Amino acid sequence: MLILTFTGRALCWLIQMPLISAEELTAWSATLLQAVNFPRPAARLVAESLVAANLRAVDSHGVQLLPYYVEQVERGDMDPTAEGRVVSASGACLLYDGANGPGQCVADACCTHAVQLARKHGMAIVTARDSNHFGAAAYWGQKISVAGMIGIVMCNASPIVAPWQGKEPRLGTNPICMSVPGPWLLDMATTTVANNRIFKALVNGEESIPAGWAMDCEGVPTTNTETAIRGLPMPLGGYKGSGLAMMVEILCATLSGGAMSTEVGGIRIKGKPTRISQMFLAIEVSRFMPVVEFTRRIEWLAGTVKSSAPAKGYDEVLVAGDPEWRAEAERLRSGIPLGGGTCEALEQTATRLGVAPPPVKMHTI
Amino acid sequence: MLILTFTGRALCWLIQMPLISAEELTAWSATLLQAVNFPRPAARLVAESLVAANLRAVDSHGVQLLPYYVEQVERGDMDPTAEGRVVSASGACLLYDGANGPGQCVADACCTHAVQLARKHGMAIVTARDSNHFGAAAYWGQKISVAGMIGIVMCNASPIVAPWQGKEPRLGTNPICMSVPGPWLLDMATTTVANNRIFKALVNGEESIPAGWAMDCEGVPTTNTETAIRGLPMPLGGYKGSGLAMMVEILCATLSGGAMSTEVGGIRIKGKPTRISQMFLAIEVSRFMPVVEFTRRIEWLAGTVKSSAPAKGYDEVLVAGDPEWRAEAERLRSGIPLGGGTCEALEQTATRLGVAPPPVKMHTI
């Protein structure tokens, strides 16, 4: 206590954090996007999807993406007014052309189609090509699962990952998401960790990272943070991660006729459209059993898995979705922290576009 | 050459290997199964699926399983004469009850249903409950992909894997398989390595195993082989592997109404039926593009991935399926080696059932 009192002023300065409510952040984000010509409904949709990720503490897929989206539009690499179209529809299969519009608009339309088709056939697959970054896949998986369906969502991504045994990038972090009517939600990249975990280690002055995270530029596994930064992220568990990334690439891009592997751009790649492909698969649970029964079975399964005694060093066992739901409850209550340079980046973008800065409140935490 | 001549006799004894052609091994395996009451078509089907795995050098899923299957039947834990039935069919969704019959018979029926339904709806999902071990998932994925479809096959398995952060087994090695009309084929457990890789290290006297393979019985990662044997296999890449295993568990067992997690038995668990669940998903490629075009796109993707310069220490980059196709070409030519105690185990089982031993030929290799 004495120490706290003594260093109180300096400490307060160090741990003051910009906080903002989800509602205010959504409204502000939509205004920012409208300033670069996003139509009002598209701006609102994109803002909601990003803030949903912030609420779940998946900040890598939250509003920190806004400056990238804005720059893509300014460079002409994404068209915020583009409207996608159905290329073909046959049975439970639908092919969608995103027309280089916002990924969230493409995903929203595709989820709607997937749910409608699954109502008719029991299941459906919708693939989209020439799309853009759609935020976190979990947002779209959940849009399908709230309809009483299993939602599986995947997308390919900028080629920054070398295949196993290789040292040149050919695949993206290609995430796999599955959402169900019940307390379990998976959304994971097919690399061991997201690239920004390695950057964070560097920023925090950590000299080494855990084994399995990264390879050097010769494709040799490394635990040296600086070497990893100049190298490549590691496919999840080695060759199996490369296999899963290819699975995603095939279901999204090969099947949709979209850009594959080295043809794909990215939000940080200037002068070419991203041309990402996405896949939305819906399975109507009630074709197998009543949704309430399925939900009870998910609860039983999650409970049984969590009933395992924790490993040494841990207090409890969690299943996919648990950490994010806890964060969401906390951030709905206390607000969303905009740390790690995000607030400054948003302010700079806002200033440049003549938009007021995000209405954050500084909180001492 | 001199050294070879000098030690020739001892060397020959050390590296003599029982070899057998796929055709002979299939016929012999079917005979063995008929001796424990498998009907002739079921015996042939099971034999073909196992020998297909041996041809691909996936020996863990080959004829070494026969003694386990035989013992399951002898104990009354599996009924080789049982015939599964369709529980419900609605649109593109079908639920199948395996009735504790051979997993291969269940899988064969389910693949047929999946392909038929996908012809009608463009895609289909078939889930089976109360099934048994079906060999390698790749065999069934390929049965779907030869029909010009993407085949996705999963199954749950005996609970021998602790969830991430846990130390008590709750999930199986729960494999994910995807097969396509083209040169790429994924079939992988959602643990870092199959358990028998760790046993092999022990048998070979290797004191340590690579990081990421296993945990000790307190759930702490270990590289000590003996500690690993007494411990648990590691979910692929940690928490993501647990997430993938749950995804498989849900799509197979939760959705089919089958046994989940600790309810599941296994081929090495005596006195209870295995009650495995399986899922077969088919997507008709021609709903998106002509199959020949899709195959060309797979070839381009695989070629582009393989064009990456190899990492230090490797000669080339491979994609999923490559090692197994190479092995298949070699073993079709030279025969299937039955090493590592498999030949002796098969001979013992055969002798006990009054069946002639497998007609292997000893080859010096």
Shortest CA gap A7–chain B (Å): 37
- When CB atoms are compared, the residue of A165, A294, A320 closest to B254 is A294
Q: Mark yes or no for CB contact B125/A120 under 8 Å.
A: no
Distance CA A86, CA A54 (A): 31
Cβ pair B219:A311 closer than 8 A: yes
Q: How far is CA A163 from CA A105, A234, A247, B307, B320, in A?
A: 31, 9, 13, 10, 11
Burial class (CB in 10 A: 0-12, 13-18, 19+), A133: buried
CB atoms closer than 10 angstroms to residue B193: 22
Instruction: Mark yes or no for CB contact A262/B95 under 8 Å.
Output: no
Q: Are strands B214-215 and B221-222 parallel, antiparallel or unpaired?
A: antiparallel
Alpha-carbon gap, residue B103 to B277, rounded angstroms: 9
Considering just the CA atoms, what is the radius of gyration of chain B in Å? 21
Tell me if B254 and A301 make a contact (CB, 8 A cut-off): yes
Residue B72: left if φ>0, alpha if ψ -120 to 50, beta else—which one? alpha
Closest C-alpha among B281, B283, B215 to residue B247: B281
Where is A306: in which H helix or E strand?
helix A291-306
Tens-binned pLDDT, residue by residue, of chain B (365 aa): 233 434 444 444 457 889 999 999 999 999 999 999 999 999 999 999 999 999 999 999 999 999 999 999 999 999 999 999 999 999 999 999 999 999 999 999 999 999 999 999 999 999 999 999 999 999 999 999 999 999 999 999 999 999 999 999 999 999 999 999 999 999 999 998 877 788 878 878 899 998 889 999 999 999 999 999 999 999 998 899 999 999 999 999 999 999 999 999 998 889 899 999 999 999 999 999 999 999 999 999 999 999 999 999 999 999 999 999 999 999 999 999 998 789 999 999 999 999 999 999 998 76
In a mutational test of the A interface, the residue from B254, B255, B280, B281 whose CB has the highest number of chain A CBs within 10 Å is B254
In angstroms, the separation between the Cα of residue B251 and the nearest Cα of chain A is 9
How deeply is B341 buried, as exposed, middle or buried, from its count of CB atoms within 10 A (0-12, 13-18, 19+)?
A: exposed
- Check: CB of residue B259 under 8 Å from CB of residue B253: yes
Q: Which of B250, B291, B295 to mutate to test the interface with A (most CBs of A within 10 A)?
A: B250
User: CB of A256 within 8 A of CB of A129?
Assistant: yes
The vertex-B154 CA angle with B57 and B295, nearest 5°, equals 70
Contact residues on chain B for A192, CB-CB shorter than 8 A: 237-238, 240
Residue of B94, B173, B174, B240 to mutate, interface with A, max A Cβ within 10 Å: B240
pLDDT confidence of residue A4:
39
Distance CA B132, CA B101 (A): 7
**Position B206, amino acid:** E
Beta strands in chain A (DSSP E): 16-20, 85-90, 93-97, 123-131, 149-155, 176-179, 185-188, 214-215, 221-222, 232-233, 276-284, 336-337, 361-364
Best CA proximity match to A240, nearest among B181, B169, B229, B235:
B235
Q: Which residues of B touch A116 (CB under 8 A)?
A: none
pLDDT tens for residues A1-15? Answer: 233 334 444 444 457
Find out whether A258 and A96 touch, Cβ atoms under 8 Å: no
**With contact defined as beta carbons under 8 Å apart, do B76 and B66 qualify?**
no
Q: Which residues of A touch B287 (CB under 8 A)?
A: 88, 90-91, 93
Q: Alpha-carbon distance B81 to B98, whole Å?
A: 11
Closest residue by Cα to residue A250 from A342, A154, A159: A154
Rounded average pLDDT per 10-residue block, chain A, 365 residues: 39 73 98 98 98 96 96 97 98 98 98 98 98 98 98 97 95 97 97 82 88 90 92 90 98 98 93 96 98 98 98 96 98 93 94 97 83
Cβ distance A250 to B178 less than 8 Å, yes or no, reads: yes
Interface test with A, best of B160, B171, B301 (most A CBs within 10 A): B301
* Residues A254, B219: C-beta atoms closer than 8 Å: no
Judged by CB atoms closer than 8 Å, whether chains meet at B241 and A242 is answered as no
CB contact under 8 Å between B310 and A244, yes or no, is: no
Q: Do B305 and A261 touch (CB under 8 A)?
A: yes
d(CA A200, nearest CA chain B) in Å: 20
Q: For chain B, how far is it from start to end, CA to CA, in angstroms?
A: 16
Judge: A311–B167 Cβ closer than 8 Å, yes or no: yes
Nearest to A212 among B162, B165, B212 (CB): B212
Amino acid in the structure at residue B192: T
Size of interface A-B (CB pairs under 8 A): 277
CA distance A163 to chain B (A): 7
Three-class SS string for chain B?
Answer: CHHHHHCHHHHHHHCEEEEECHHHHHHHHHHHHHCCCCCHHHHHHHHHHHHHHHHCCCHHHCHHHHHHHHHHHHHCCCCCCCCCEEEEEECCEEEEECCCCCHHHHHHHHHHHHHHHHHHHCEEEEEEEEECCCCCHHHHHHHHHCCCEEEEEEECCCCCECCCCECCCCECCCCEEEECCCCCEEEECCECCCHHHHHHHHHCCCCECCCCCEECCCCCEECEHHHHHHCEECECCCHHHHHHHHHHHHHHHHHHCCCCHHHCCCCCCCCCCCCEEEEEEEEEHHHCCCHHHHHHHHHHHHHHHHCCCECCCCCCCCCCCHHHHHHHHHHHHHCEECCCCHHHHHHHHHHHHCCCCCCCEEEEC
Q: How far is CA A359 from CA A20, A54, A67, in A?
A: 7, 16, 17
Whether pTM exceeds 0.80: yes
